[in-house]
Amino acid sequence: MSEMIIQMQDMNKWYDDFHVLKNINLEVKKGEKIVICGPSGSGKSTLVRCINRLEEHQNGKIFVNGTELTNNLKNIDLIRAEVGMVFQHFNLFPHLTILENLTLAPVWVRHETKDQAEEVAMGYLEKVKIGDQALKYPGQLSGGQKQRVAIARALCMKPGVMLFDEPTSALDPEMVKEVLDVMVGLAEDGMTMLCVTHEMGFARQVADRVIFMDEGQIVEEADPETFFNNPQSERSKEFLGQILH
Amino acid sequence: MYKWTKNPESRSLPAGEAMAKWMKKNLFPTPAQSMLSIILFSLILKMLTPFLDWFVYDAVWLGSADDCRQASGACVAFIREKFTFILFGFYPREYLWRPIAAIGLFICMLWYSKEPSRWSKRLVRRWVVYVFLWILLMRGGMFGFELVPSNKWGGLPLTLMLSFVGIVFSYPFGILLALGRRSKMPVIKAFCVGYIELIRGVPLISLLFMSSVMFPLFLPEGVVIDKLLRAQAAIILFVAAYMAEVVRGGLAAIPKGQYEAGEALGLSFFQIMRLIILPQALKIVIPPTVNTAIGMFKDTSLVLIIALFDLLNTTKTALKDGNWLGFSVEGYLFVALIYFIFCFSMGKYSRRLEYELTTSRSH
């Protein structure tokens, strides 16, 4: 059974007169891992941010788990409950402890009890190997630790799909691996993932499909083997040439 | 192997030697700075001696107005004579224990509330009980307490009440205005911008005049709203506009990512504001918030123009006593000292609060 969890049909987005996303058609099956890459300004972050309405699309359709994303607030809430997100700059809440960061949404959105939420949170913190930091504040953690906390925070809402918006781009080089390891683990557990990233090793290792974007369009879509060894379009060849040296 | 060593500067020296070292380092490090230190010290000394002469050696601490006039120093006796009037105005002397108790309890409540760890719903309930006690003590008229109408209130209790109630109400009102000003809904935004700009554009005095002279004209026949209450409302409305701008500064300092993280987790707008944005924004603006609060504490003295007897007005009235004419320096210095104690405590507390909220939640 391969259920569609995300569908985009002829989706377009403009910032004022600037056409950022052009006729995007994309389908993601449950359990699929997709890596989105492309030069900066190609619209890949915007694409991902449209899925949970951090950005609004102007025409075309987006369905998440069968719910259409419209201005209907109820639908937006349903979709946000289904979609977890990890940001480039972590966006942890600096005034709350790590544990409070994780339990905030389960308690206020899912109406779980505090004990229940804390138990689940500790479980995920252990999973990202950071259980001993639960009572610290984000400011006391390293970048890699912060990003692992951010992943755990998103997981606490039990999402059906996880969006990663350049999760390792703001990290010092020696911390990239610890975050990627967590993401690989997540992939192995069967999580549906959409990752905007330039970590090509990660793409080779876990991606079912690589999507290459340029100037707001999906230029190429292929399995990683084909994409890296035998790219079809000129733009992707050029791009790969630049990042793989 | 690395050997653990002690910072040589942290060695403990005998007191005298340590003092000499400190002075060498901080007061006399170079010839030019030594000169500056000496000049400043002699200036301080030059100013201090006449003050001490005036306040201590030539002062009249006990005695009558005539004794004061013959002496060249300060007339502390005047303050002793007018002390009760300056602090409590025309409050009936036989019930003087009531405002004293109210202020004493007020200070205890403030002292108890100063620890952030005690901020809870229970504390709010205690303050509600306290407000009731304040009304009972100051106003009376129930439970066997003799009624003392608000036109008899004066001095310190009045000043404290106008400022404290002013801060407590203008702060949340200011937060709402600040949120409204950043709202995407045009009507709400226009209302908040209009309100803030209009109120900031007029002096407090004009608002006080309007509340005491014009506002009653619009009320239906027979409806009377207490003058003190009207002045209090004017102060709240005025300060809220300033608080709104202070809070807006804090809101602007919170990165967009904080909103987005909240949205991505499925929190509603009000949850994001209450749980994520405001706790951070309000903490950032503690210093300007307290600055506004200190400003308003002193601005309450403007109520004297609508004939309310706050601390400054009781002092001015005391100065007009025919038997004790000519001691305005003493009177004003005394009332300045009271204002200073309260304002200084507020500033000190603000710095402590800032420190505590950042060290326990280090960034």
Residues B314, B83 contacting (CB under 8 angstroms): no
Query: Given the structure tokens 């349903």, which residue do they identify?
Result: A78
- A213: its two tokens: 């974007």
Q: Which residue of B has its CA nearest to A48?
A: B264
What is the distance between the terminal CA atoms of chain B, rounded to a whole angstrom?
33
Distance of alpha carbon A191 from alpha carbon A208, whole angstroms: 12
Q: How far is A225 from chain B (nearest CA, A)?
A: 32
Report if residue B40 sits inside a domain. yes
What's the number of domains chain B is made of? Answer: 1
Q: Decide if pLDDT at B158 tops 80.
A: yes
CA A182 to chain centre: 13
Q: What is the pLDDT of residues B25-43, one digit of tens each?
A: 888 888 898 999 999 999 9
Query: Given the structure tokens 């006391």, which residue do they identify?
Result: A140
Which residues in chain A have Cβ-Cβ distances shorter than 8 Å to B265?
80, 104-105, 109, 153-154, 157
To the nearest whole percent, how much of chain B has pLDDT over 90? 33
3-state secondary structure of B249: helix
Residues B162, B98 contacting (CB under 8 angstroms): no
Give the pLDDT band (50/70/90) at residue B322: confident
**Of A140, A52, A143, whose CA–CA distance to B267 is shortest?**
A52
Plot region of A166 (φ>0 → left; ψ -120 to 50 → alpha; else → beta) = left
CB contact under 8 A, A94 and B280: yes
Query: Given the structure tokens 């944005």, which residue do they identify?
Result: B277
Residues A49, B235 contacting (CB under 8 angstroms): no
Give me the pLDDT at residue A1, please. 43
Measuring CA to CA, how many Å separate A190 from each of A28, B264, B349?
14, 21, 53
User: Which pLDDT tens digits describe chain A residue by residue (245 residues)?
Assistant: 458 899 999 999 999 889 999 999 999 999 999 999 998 889 999 999 999 999 999 989 999 988 888 888 888 988 998 899 999 999 999 999 999 999 999 999 999 999 999 999 999 999 999 989 999 999 999 999 999 999 999 999 999 999 999 999 989 988 999 999 999 999 999 999 999 998 888 999 999 999 999 999 999 999 998 998 888 888 888 888 888 76
Give me the pLDDT at residue B134, please. 87
The residues in A 29-68 lying below 8 A from B, measured between CB atoms, are 52-54
Which residues in chain A have Cβ-Cβ distances shorter than 8 Å to B116?
none
Q: Decide if pLDDT at B176 tops 70.
A: yes
DSSP-derived secondary structure letter, B182: T
DSSP-derived secondary structure letter, B54: I
CB contact under 8 A, A52 and B265: no
Secondary element (H or E) of residue A163? strand A161-165
Which residue segment(s) compose the domain that B4 sits in?
1-57
Report if residue B32 sits inside a domain. yes
Q: Rounded to the nearest 10 degrees, how much is the dihedral formed by the CA atoms of B310, B312, B317, B319?
A: 160
Measuring CA to CA, how many Å separate B82 from each of A63, B77, B105?
79, 9, 24
Instruction: Tell me the β-bridge partners of A59.
Output: A12
Residues A212, A236 contacting (CB under 8 angstroms): yes
Secondary element (H or E) of residue A46? helix A44-51
Report if residue B75 sits inside a domain. no
Average pLDDT over residues B331-342: 91
Q: What is the pLDDT of residues B221-252, one digit of tens each?
A: 777 777 888 888 889 999 999 999 999 999 99
CB contact under 8 A, B265 and A109: yes
**Of A66, A8, A61, A3, whose CA–CA distance to A36 is shortest?**
A8
B277-B283-B286 Cα angle (round to 5):
135
Give me the pLDDT at residue B11, please. 65
Q: Which residue of A has its CA nearest to B260?
A: A54
Q: How far is A231 from chain B (nearest CA, A)?
A: 34
Beta-strand runs (E) in chain B: 154-155, 309-310
DSSP-derived secondary structure letter, B139: T
Give the pLDDT band (50/70/90) at residue B173: very high
Q: Which residue of A has its CA nearest to B278?
A: A95
**ipTM (interface predicted TM):** 0.91
Q: How far is B141 from chain A (nearest CA, A)?
A: 46
Report if residue B251 sits inside a domain. no
Partner-chain residue, chosen from B255, B265, B362, that has the shortest CB–CB distance to A157:
B265
CB contact under 8 A, A94 and B265: no
Q: Residue type for B51, please?
A: F
**Is A104 touching B (CB cutoff 8 A)?**
yes
Q: Which residue of A has its CA nearest to B266?
A: A80
3-state secondary structure of A222: strand
DSSP-derived secondary structure letter, B214: I
Give me the pLDDT at residue B359, please. 59
Report if residue B53 sits inside a domain. yes
Q: pTM for the whole thing?
A: 0.82
Report if residue B337 sits inside a domain. no
Q: What is the pLDDT of residues B285-311, one digit of tens each?
A: 999 999 999 999 998 888 888 878 888
For an interface test with B, the pick among A56, A73, A86, A91 (most B C-beta atoms closer than 10 Å) comes out as A91
Partner-chain residue, chosen from A91, A140, A153, that has the shortest CB–CB distance to B257:
A91
CB contact under 8 A, B265 and A53: no
**Is A94 touching B (CB cutoff 8 A)?**
yes
**Is A194 touching B (CB cutoff 8 A)?**
no
Report if residue B17 sits inside a domain. yes
For an interface test with A, the pick among B184, B265, B362 (most A C-beta atoms closer than 10 Å) comes out as B265
**Of A212, A215, A241, whose CA–CA distance to A224 is shortest?**
A212
Give me the pLDDT at residue A148, please. 94
CB contact under 8 A, A157 and B275: no
**Of B135, B237, B275, B121, whose CA–CA distance to A108 is shortest?**
B275
Q: Which residue of A has its CA nearest to B258?
A: A91
**Is A243 touching B (CB cutoff 8 A)?**
no
Q: Decide if pLDDT at B124 tops 60.
A: yes
Measuring CA to CA, how many Å separate B272 from each of A93, B269, B279?
11, 5, 10
Average pLDDT over residues B319-336: 84
Beta-strand runs (E) in B266-339: 309-310
- B243: its two tokens: 């608080």
Residue with the larger pLDDT of the pair A242 and B7: A242
CB contact under 8 A, A95 and B280: yes
- B237: its two tokens: 């409305």
Beta-strand runs (E) in B115-271: 154-155
Distance of alpha carbon A128 from alpha carbon A12, whole angstroms: 36
Q: Decide if pLDDT at B207 tops 60.
A: yes
Secondary element (H or E) of residue A7? strand A4-15
Which residues in chain B have Cβ-Cβ distances shorter than 8 Å to A53?
263
Report if residue B108 sits inside a domain. no
3-state secondary structure of B84: helix
**Is A109 touching B (CB cutoff 8 A)?**
yes
Q: How far is B283 from chain A (nearest CA, A)?
A: 10
Mean of pLDDT over chain B: 86
How many interface pairs between A and B have CB atoms less than 8 angstroms apart?
66
